[in-house]
Amino acid sequence: MKKILLMCTAGMSTSMMVQKMQESASEQNLEVKIEAYGSERFNDLIPEYDIVLLGPQLKYMHNEFKNRAEPYGKIVEVINPMDYAVMNGQKVLSHALELIG
């Protein structure tokens, strides 16, 4: 099972994206775990997930989170702002799974 973590400032706006991604995963019969949390939980949660997707509002923290994730061999990527704006869960899910490999 692939595990995807979404992070934003408080975990609120990404929770809507999680719902859209889970709907897409269900339609494709994919077994994935997708959750959203505020960025302050990053250090506690990074070992449990395959990839961390940052809400566009956290783009400025990408390098910092990427460096913190490196010892765990985890991927950190910023969600495409256009996909985020229209809540395109299918596209965000597909991109995350592609990055995980």
Q: Please give the torsion angle defined by the CA atoms of residues 81, 46, 15 and 87, in that order, rounded to the nearest 10 degrees.
A: 30
**Residue 1 designated active-site:** no
Catalytic pick from 4, 7, 8, 51?
8
On whether the CB atoms of residues 33 and 65 are closer than 8 A, the answer is no
Closest CA to 4 of 31, 40, 28, 23: 31
On whether the CB atoms of residues 60 and 53 are closer than 8 A, the answer is no
- Catalytic machinery residues: 8
